[in-house]
Structure 1
Amino acid sequence: MEGALLDTSNIPPSIRRQWAQPDIPIIVRSGLKGDKLTARLPYRADNRQWLTGLATGNRRPTIRFAHMEKSWKLPLSWLNRFVDGALDRYGRVYVVQPFREMEKCAPACRKAAGHDCQCSCMGANHGASDGNGWFDVSDTFSFRWGPQEAAIRLMTRRT
């Protein structure tokens, strides 16, 4: 999939807007196996040199510019060093990463017969009496992961 255009069809509009803005760097970790980081930087003539300078030790991984996306492809292991470097250089950076919300409930709630629910699900699963993806840790605690989504956050340099 490397070299393919960044698929924005299932990316929320707020993230697409941030990707399109030209002033703040943005780094995307897709969460897909084998995918590289995708970074877009404000234009500077020395961007390649700056990115190359993020390498440590004797290893010099491939840094590639993807012309169709107007972005850089970087090793996945460079997330922290890219963010730290971008904060030093630009003062702020958008970070896009996958996340999954964790729901909490309890078997007693899902098997309940009344309307009184004092569980963290706030009644959403009350009396549903199904497993439906729940992992029961104990009689008083169950959890399940929601669908994977993309989250964006703006990080700023500490002053």
Structure 2
Amino acid sequence: MTAATVYRPVGTARIKVRLPYAVGNRAWIHSILGDLTRPEWNREDKSWDISRQHMRTLVEALAERFGSVDVTIDFRTNSRCDDRCRDAEGDDCDCQCMGENHGGAAYWRNWREVGETTLVATAGISQRVFRVVSR
């Protein structure tokens, strides 16, 4: 079982990061993400709430520190997908295609093309769960 987890909900909410308790966890987060980062301890969830923009850097650092990290990402499946997703650059995407189309990946899978650039799928929220291991 992995020692750390990262959860990214749909929308603009902050990511939730769980790692084993250590006195220096806040300082470690600052050393990875910079002193201007404002991690907030969520007592109810027993996790750190951190800005979404830091997800990739944090996942890589957690994998390096703990050997692996389990990542859960929610994706919206209740709206349309189109060339904005397919032609996207960067990592942040909460599109309904669950990243299948992101950046030009197999945009035809499990989608019905409607019009020139619109792709349609079923409604709901889906999750992808994966483990990232250190190199």
Q: Which amino acid aligns with 1:50?
A: W
Quote the residue 1:103 is aligned against: 110
Structure 1: give runs of 5+ residues left out of the alignment: 1-20, 106-133
Are 1:152 and 2:110 matched, yes or no? no
Matching of residues 6-155 of structure 1 within 5 Å: 23-33=2-12, 35-56=13-34, 60-99=36-75, 100-101=96-97, 103-105=110-112, 135-137=114-116, 143-147=119-123, 148-155=125-132
Distance in 2 of aligned mates of 1:97 and 1:146: 18
Q: Which letter does structure 2 place at the counterpart of 1:155?
A: V
Percent identity at matched positions? 17
Superposition deviation, residue 92 in structure 1: 0.2
The amino acid across from 1:25 in the alignment is A
Higher relative contact order, structure no. (Cα contacts within 8 Å, ≥ 6 residues apart): 2
2:103 aligned residue:
none
Q: Distance in 2 between matches of 1:40 and 1:146?
A: 31
Q: More deviation in 23-32 or 84-93?
A: 23-32
CA distance in 2, matches of 1:49, 1:81: 16
Deviation at 1:151, TM superposition (A): 1.3
5+ unaligned residues in a row in structure 2: which ranges?
76-95, 98-108
Partner SS state of residue 146, structure 1 = coil
Q: TM-score, normalised by structure 1?
A: 0.56
The CA deviation at 1:103 is 2.2
Name the TM-score, length of structure 2 as normaliser. 0.65
Secondary structure of the 1:54 match is: helix
Deviation (angstroms), 1:78: 0.7
Once the 2 structures are TM-superposed, how far is the Cα of residue 30 of structure 1 from its aligned partner? 0.4
1:75 shift after superposition: 1.0
Q: Distance in 2 between matches of 1:98 and 1:145?
A: 15
Within 2, Cα distance between the matches of 1:153 and 1:85?
A: 16
Report the 3-state secondary structure (helix = DSSP H, G, I; strand = E; otherwise coil) of the residue aligned with 1:60.
coil
The separation in 1 between residues aligned to 2:47 and 2:70, in whole angstroms, is 14
Instruction: Answer yes or no: is the 8 Å Cα contact 2:111–2:121 preserved in 1.
Output: no
